[in-house]
Every structure is written in structure tokens, then in C-alpha cells.
């Protein structure tokens, strides 16, 4: 399964820190109704059984909405729930190894912070890149924001779709206009909001505006 860059427009990454009275699955369904175009399930502390059950539920949900679904870092869970693919960081398993494990038809996303990493990831079999952090972010406090010029350089260096991530919200998303990215990945800008549906719809419109404004 290869990926259309249109799927990058509004890429949501889960975080159960803000579930509150709702379940993560309920929050995700609201975000799907609001217009997210891609979903990454990121779980750092769940046990295998709970993680797998959640992944299976989200796989069914995203399939219903026809939105690609990948698991962050965990190839075993991705294979067990038949997710559409996996996303890995630079500190995780080598990209070539992940591609070998998931086969040629699943989506493989890779995080990159510079041109060298981006080119290497594409050569190793990545289908898309997540680049950042493009702004300061509370999700990864040690991440140093990359410059607009670096974002442009990375986008020009590869032919696969690119989603920007890190500190993106409704107040700064338009600053990425003209950078060459194919969309934005957000966490708290959706899942930490009291009205997830309204927040998602607004981000969808802003992302479309950011992409539509590019020459």
C-alpha cells in the first residue's frame, strides 16, 4: 500500500494524556468526523493485550472512514492488528529491517531531522517522512526546532510525501506556507482540545489554505 500525498494534509498522532472522560477511540472517531486524513497510534506505556485491542478497534474505525492507520514504533502490534503500516524514528529499528519485516505493500513512515536522514530513509524504503520539530513542542521537550530553510531543503531532497510535525497549532500552521510540505501532523492541537470536532475542522481548513497557497 503506497501513499498519496493528500493523506498527509491533516495527520493526527494520538496521546492518551488528554482522554479525560472520553476513551481514546471516542476521541479518534470525533477527529475522523472532523476531517483528519491519517492516523498514527502512539502508545508508550500500554501492555501488549490492551495495546492490541485498542489497535484493532482503531483499525476498524479508520477503515470505515478510509483513512490510513499506522502504529508508532511497534512492528509486532502493527502486524497483529493488520495496520496499514508503521512509523519509526531515527532511534528505532533500522528502516531497511522494518521494511523487510512488514513487506513491500505496507506503509512505512520515518522521522527525519535533516537532509541526510531524509535521503537515507527514502533509499531504505520509506513511503513518507515526518520532519521536525518545526516549532517548539511540549511533546518532545529536547527537540530543537528546525529552520524554515531546513524544511525546504528536506522537501526538495526527496520525492516521497512529507508531513511537518512538532508544535503545530492553529496559530502557527500558516507559517509553513511555501515550505514544500504536504501536510501537518498534530497531537495536542486536536486531542487536548475541549471541542475536538471544531478544532479538527479548523485545522483541516487551515492546512488546506497552507497547501493551497503554495506556488
Binding residues for Mg(2+): 73, 92
Spot the catalytic one: 111, 157, 179, 207. Answer: 111
Residue list, annotated binding site: 40-44, 72-73, 92, 111, 137-140, 167, 187-188
Is-catalytic flag, 140? yes
The string of DSSP letters for 105-123 reads TSEEEEEESSHHHHHHHHH
The DSSP bridge pattern shows strands 69-72 and 85-88 to be: parallel
Of 85, 68, 156, 73, nearest to 125 (Cα)? 85
Omega into 133 within 30° of 0, i.e. cis?
Answer: yes
Contact predicate 163/133, CB 8 Å: no
Interatomic CA distance for residues 80 and 83, integer angstroms: 8
Assign 163 to helix, strand or coil.
Answer: strand
Spot the catalytic one: 5, 16, 97, 140. Answer: 140
Spot the catalytic one: 42, 97, 170, 201. Answer: 42
Is-catalytic flag, 16? no
Contact predicate 68/38, CB 8 Å: yes
All 3 cell numbers of residue 108? Answer: 512505512
Is-catalytic flag, 141? no
What is the enclosing helix (H) or strand (E) of 32? helix 24-34
Beta strands in 26-175 (DSSP E): 38-41, 69-72, 85-88, 107-112, 128-131, 162-165
The residues that are catalytic are 42, 111, 140
Amino acid at each position: 500500500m503506497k501513499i498519496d500525498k493528500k493523506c498527509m494534509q491533516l495527520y493526527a498522532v494520538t496521546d492518551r494524556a488528554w482522554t479525560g472522560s472520553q476513551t481514546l477511540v471516542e476521541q479518534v472517531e470525533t477527529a475522523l468526523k472532523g476531517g483528519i486524513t491519517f492516523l498514527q497510534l502512539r502508545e508508550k506505556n500500554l501492555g501488549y493485550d490492551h495495546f492490541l485491542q485498542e489497535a484493532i478497534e482503531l483499525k476498524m474505525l479508520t477503515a470505515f472512514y478510509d483513512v490510513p492507520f499506522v502504529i508508532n514504533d511497534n512492528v509486532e502490534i502493527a502486524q497483529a492488528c493488520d495496520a496499514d503500516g508503521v512509523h519509526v524514528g531515527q532511534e528505532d529499528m533500522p528502516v531497511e529491517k522494518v521494511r523487510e519485516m512488514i513487506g513491500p505493500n505496507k506503509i512505512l513512515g520515518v522521522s527525519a531531522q535533516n537532509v541526510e536522514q531524509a535521503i537515507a530513509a527514502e533509499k531504505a524504503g520509506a513511503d513518507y517522512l515526518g520532519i521536525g520539530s518545526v516549532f517548539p513542542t511540549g511533546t518532545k521537550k529536547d527537540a530543537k526546532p528546525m529552520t524554515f530553510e531546513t524544511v525546504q531543503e528536506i522537501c526538495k531532497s526527496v520525492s516521497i510525501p512529507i508531513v511537518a510535525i512538532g508544535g503545530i497549532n492553529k496559530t502557527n500552521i500558516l507559517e509553513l506556507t511555501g515550505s514544500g510540505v504536504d501536510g501537518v501532523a498534530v497531537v495536542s492541537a486536536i486531542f487536548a482540545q475541549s471541542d475536538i470536532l471544531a478544532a479538527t475542522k479548523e485545522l483541516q481548513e487551515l492546512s488546506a489554505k497552507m497547501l493551497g497557497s503554495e506556488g
